[in-house]
Chains A and B, each alone.
Chain A
């Protein structure tokens, strides 16, 4: 049941990215190009998504279990640390170079785009780099690594 709900959520997410134009890297770059001919569309994508999302998160806020009975597992950390800032900085540079973030990378792969597949493969390799350094950190003595959500 949870698996089916997961698939449905991913599927609807992918449709939303396609409708919004987020799956078109040229359009995303048009939004990020403030100094050029700026396409503000993506600001409205965020606005639409947050308006609907906010209602849902308000609904689950004080619940311990979901409608399907699963535990509500939301990150509780409020710390803004170096890891968060530097990681987001590196992500933003990559996003600005290609106009592709993780969701659209998967949608692009589904369109059969060879370039999309190159990006996805590199992104998974990047995850591998992260896991490699994390496992070395875990193996080394010292403060416990922080779990990323």
Chain B
């Protein structure tokens, strides 16, 4: 392992993380729910009365953030090198896996770890390990 010091952005990572934490805090302190993006989005697949508008509003907020940002300043760098077929496969796996696993990086990773849920800590360890392993295989075994 070698650390890519030129790519390391500790300040914006900590500040951005704190803003993400603040969003999760806002959500639980006001609405009493876990800010878990996969669950909020997935719940729209089987809409139930009185359970739709808050979900759509949260999703709309996420989509609106870069739109508002773009009005005021240039968006930060966004680079997607992954090919379209791999992206489609990846999206499918994320869509299936997060629903079976009951959460993703936000619900398990941020909220669950914040409240020391053993389920979420286990889920986070598993998806992080799977992510590390997948990148290792894709970049260092297959790509060479």
Across the interface, B80 reaches (CB within 8 A) one of A21, A32, A86, A113, namely A113
Across the interface, A123 reaches (CB within 8 A) one of B4, B92, B124, B135, namely B92
A60 near B28 with CB under 8 A, answer yes
Q: Which residues of B contact A143 (CB under 8 A)?
A: none
Given the known inter-chain contacts A15-B65, A84-B101, please indicate yes or no for A56 contacting B20, CB distance below 8 A.
no
B140 near A119 with CB under 8 A, answer no
Q: Which residues of B contact A86 (CB under 8 A)?
A: 100-101
CB interface residues, A 16-36, toward B, < 8 Å:
16-27, 29-30, 32-36
Question: Measured between alpha carbons, how far is A43 from B53 in the docked complex, in Å?
Answer: 33
CB distance from A28 to the nearest CB of B (A): 9
Q: Which residues of A contact B64 (CB under 8 A)?
A: 7, 10-11, 14, 110
A118 near B88 with CB under 8 A, answer yes
A98 near B82 with CB under 8 A, answer yes
Interface bits A65-107 vs B (CB < 8 Å: 1, else 0): 1111011111101111001111111111111111111110111
Question: Measured between alpha carbons, how far is A84 from B26 in the docked complex, in Å?
Answer: 27
A62 sits at the interface (CB 8 A): no
Q: Which residues of B contact A18 (CB under 8 A)?
A: 16, 65-66, 69, 75-76
Residue of B53, B78, B102, B103 ringed by the most chain A CB atoms within 10 A = B78
Interface residues of B (CB under 8 A from A): 1-4, 7-10, 12-39, 41-42, 45-46, 53-55, 57-70, 75-82, 84, 86-111, 113-115, 117-119, 122-124, 126-136, 138-140
Could you write out 26 A-B pairs with CB less than 8 Å apart? A2-B31, A3-B54, A5-B26, A7-B61, A9-B61, A13-B23, A13-B58, A13-B62, A15-B69, A20-B17, A27-B79, A39-B8, A42-B13, A54-B114, A55-B25, A56-B25, A60-B28, A88-B108, A92-B129, A96-B130, A97-B87, A98-B87, A98-B94, A110-B66, A111-B75, A118-B87
The 4 closest A-B pairs by CB, nearest first: A126-B95, A10-B61, A92-B130, A48-B17
Interface residues of A (CB under 8 A from B): 2-27, 29-30, 32-57, 59-61, 65-68, 70-75, 77-80, 83-103, 105-111, 113, 115-116, 118-131, 148-149
- Beyond A88-B122, A111-B70, A111-B75: 17 further Cβ-contacts under 8 Å? A10-B58, A11-B62, A16-B16, A20-B15, A22-B20, A44-B14, A45-B17, A52-B25, A60-B29, A72-B28, A73-B33, A90-B100, A100-B94, A103-B104, A110-B67, A118-B91, A126-B99
